[in-house]
Amino acid sequence: MAKSPTLPPMLPVDEALKRLLASAEKPLPPETVALAQAHERRLAKDVAARRTQPPDALSAMDGYAVRAADIASVPAKLTMIGTSSAGHGFDGAIAAGQAVRIFTGARMPEGADTVLIQEDTEADGATITALASEQRGRNVRQAGLDFLAGDVLLKAGRLIGPAELALAAAMNHATLDVVRRPLVAILATGDELVSPGQEPGPDQIVASNNFAVAAYARQAGADVLDLGIAGDNFEALEVAIRRARDARADVLVTLGGASVGDHDLVQSALTREGMELGFWRIAMRPGKPFMHGRIGDMRIAGLPGNPVSAIVCCILFVLPLIRALSGDTNAGRDPSVPAVLGDDVPANDMRQDYVRARLTPDEHGLPVATAFKRQDSSMLGVLAEAQCLIVRPANAPAAKKGEPCRIVPLNQAIR
Ligand SMILES: Nc1nc2c(c(=O)[nH]1)N[C@H]1C(S)=C(S)[C@@H](COP(=O)(O)OP(=O)(O)OC[C@H]3O[C@@H](n4cnc5c(N)ncnc54)[C@H](O)[C@@H]3O)O[C@H]1N2
Ligand code: MOO
């Protein structure tokens, strides 16, 4: 006879996310890496400039360093007394009626306050004729224009992209303290599963959603430990759970066996291995059987087996968890953005729906989300076609084509 366990009430999605992120209240510890290796990592500490940039007033153009007062009425003849180029400044000072040949990035000589671009001059040996007046300070980058020594330009938690790398280099940092990457162990479960490329026997299918979860986790900045496939028996599950624990995984993601069937042993196996259950069952569709707990420092995300359910739960729960552990101070942000409905939608029940949909621009370029007719949570073909999930809040009333809605974009930058 089927078991009939007392089921816990379904948690609202927001509440579940809040409780999940409470298990990652502090980012993982820092590590020091060479600057180039910090790409796509998050800063563990604020980064202050070790120098002022530019260190001196520099020319922004090729031309002549002059005193603006000397070229107030033109044409004006000036005597060139030297040259200043980037890396080789002119160490003298200019007096009234004098100029210094100067190039972009070169230090301004003492006494000069303005750069006249060479297009506005005529040169004849050591004499130059200024053909245009210039506002005082024109074409000069003052010392500290970009930043001053001690300025904190990159804060803890900041994701290091190309611009941040360049800025850290300019601030003269050869290494950065970044948050350690979370190690995410991924375990597919089910007697019916074989790996891609194998010949499925009778009653078997090919394991798929573990590949999506691994790819998402890597995109979010985690290292992945692939634990393969465990059959629906305690021994296989416990061996895999211990492997994750021995590898000091920060997160163990299990796939399948999360529901109420006789072969859904994942939660029991985790409990036997010491898991403290956080919560189980969410008021969402797909993804109802999502479960969270922890074994010591290892957070557990138990995803449903249905491929679309697993991927939706990965996007909504596993990625924020990875971001929080990686030091993202905004890990729990709402991933949804506004759009309009491309079709009428019916009233919703108590489960928040994530409806696979196509996106097309309306006549103003705004996104219109049109749900696919087939929404079964086993259908990866539809998911791969979908560009977004329409979020239908619990108990939402029916809505008409053209009404506003919220969507979670798919296949976009996720960090
Ligand atoms: N009586 C009830 N039955 C079910 C309920 C319920 O509340 N009462 N919930 C349903 C919901 S909702 C979901 S979602 C599924 C998920 O259940 P499980 O997490 O236990 O998933 P499995 O039964 O292990 O697998 C479901 C489905 O997905 C396939 N699968 C599993 N792992 C993979 C994988 N790695 N790659 C590809 N496909 C996978 C598996 O073969 C099954 O077809 O339960 C409902 N049932
Ligand atoms: O929640 Mo299940 O994830 O509806 O298919």
Q: What pLDDT sits at residue 259?
A: 85
| Same domain, residue pair 205 and 314 | yes
| Same domain, residue pair 173 and 185 | no
Asked if residue 182 lies in contact with residue 325, where contact means CB atoms within 8 angstroms, the answer is yes
| Same domain, residue pair 314 and 245 | yes
Which of 350, 377, 389, 392 is the best mutation target for the ligand 2 pocket, counting ligand atoms within 8 Å of the beta carbon and taking the most?
377
Q: Which atom of ligand 1 is nearest to the CA of 309?
A: 14
| Same domain, residue pair 119 and 212 | no
Strand ranges (E), 21-120: 30-34, 47-48, 58-59, 63-66, 76-84, 98-102, 114-117
| Same domain, residue pair 84 and 107 | yes
In a domain, 4, yes or no: no
Last residue of a domain, one of 325, 360, 380: 325
CA dist 394 → 12, 331, 335 (Å): 8, 23, 17
Which of 13, 284, 306 is the best mutation target for the ligand 2 pocket, counting ligand atoms within 8 Å of the beta carbon and taking the most?
306
Record the tokens describing residue 279, joined without a space.
């919560």
Model confidence, pTM: 0.92
Q: What pLDDT sits at residue 4?
A: 57
In a domain, 146, yes or no: no
Query: Into how many domains does the chain fold?
Result: 4
Q: Tens digits of per-residue pLDDT, 159-212?
A: 999 999 999 999 999 999 999 999 999 999 999 999 999 999 999 999 999 999
Alpha helices in 228-297 (DSSP H): 234-246, 266-272
What is the CB neighbour count within 10 angstroms for residue 22?
Answer: 11
| Same domain, residue pair 224 and 188 | yes
Asked if residue 404 lies in contact with residue 336, where contact means CB atoms within 8 angstroms, the answer is no
Q: What pLDDT sits at residue 411?
A: 73
Task: Kindly report the protein residue whose alpha carbon is nearest to atom 4 of ligand 2.
Answer: 286
Asked if residue 184 lies in contact with residue 251, where contact means CB atoms within 8 angstroms, the answer is yes
Record the tokens describing residue 202, joined without a space.
């009778």
Amino acid at residue number 27? P
CATH of the domain at 118: 2.170.190.11
Q: What pLDDT sits at residue 324?
A: 97
CA dist 5 → 150, 272, 284, 350 (Å): 61, 17, 20, 21
Q: What pLDDT sits at residue 290?
A: 97
Q: Which atom of ligand 1 is nearest to the CA of 266?
A: 20
Give the SS3 label for residue 315: helix
- CA 284–ligand 2 middle distance (angstroms): 8
Per-residue pLDDT of the chain (415 residues; tens, 9 = 90+): 455 568 999 999 999 999 999 999 899 999 999 999 999 999 999 999 999 999 999 999 999 999 999 999 999 999 999 999 999 999 999 999 999 999 999 999 999 999 999 999 999 999 999 999 999 999 999 999 999 999 999 999 999 999 999 999 999 999 999 999 999 999 999 999 999 999 999 999 999 999 999 999 999 999 999 999 999 999 999 999 999 999 999 999 999 998 888 888 999 999 999 999 999 999 999 999 999 999 999 999 999 999 999 999 999 999 999 999 999 999 999 999 999 999 999 999 999 999 999 999 999 888 999 999 999 999 999 999 999 999 999 999 999 999 999 999 997 645 5
How far apart (Å, rounded) are the C-alpha atoms in residues 240 and 229? 9
Asked if residue 309 lies in contact with residue 284, where contact means CB atoms within 8 angstroms, the answer is no
Amino acid at residue number 333? R
CA dist 370 → 93, 358, 380 (Å): 70, 5, 18
Q: Which one-letter DSSP state was computed for residue 69?
A: G
| Same domain, residue pair 295 and 365 | no
For residue 54, cis peptide bond before it (omega within 30 degrees of 0): yes
| Same domain, residue pair 189 and 261 | yes
Q: Partners of 83 in the beta sheet?
A: 101
Q: Tens digits of per-residue pLDDT, 86-144?
A: 999 999 999 999 999 999 999 999 999 999 999 999 999 999 999 999 999 999 999 99
In a domain, 330, yes or no: no
Record the tokens describing residue 8, joined without a space.
């816990």
Q: Which atom of ligand 1 is nearest to the CA of 258?
A: 19
What is the CB neighbour count within 10 angstroms for residue 351?
Answer: 20
How far apart (Å, rounded) are the C-alpha atoms in residues 26 and 171? 28
Q: What pLDDT sits at residue 77?
A: 98
| Same domain, residue pair 199 and 313 | yes
Q: What pLDDT sits at residue 414?
A: 55
Structural element, H or E, at residue 309: helix 307-313
| Same domain, residue pair 170 and 189 | no
How far apart (Å, rounded) are the C-alpha atoms in residues 284 and 15? 12
Last residue of a domain, one of 266, 290, 325: 325
How far apart (Å, rounded) are the C-alpha atoms in residues 172 and 150? 12
CATH of the domain at 358: 2.40.340.10
- Domain containing residue 165: 33-48+152-178
Last residue of a domain, one of 278, 295, 325: 325
| Same domain, residue pair 17 and 63 | no
DSSP string, 368-386: EEEE-S---TT-HHHHHH-
| Same domain, residue pair 118 and 160 | no
Q: What pLDDT sits at residue 264?
A: 84
- For the chain, the first-to-last Cα distance in angstroms comes to 46
- CA 392–ligand 1 middle distance (angstroms): 22
In a domain, 212, yes or no: yes
In a domain, 331, yes or no: no
CATH of the domain at 265: 3.40.980.10
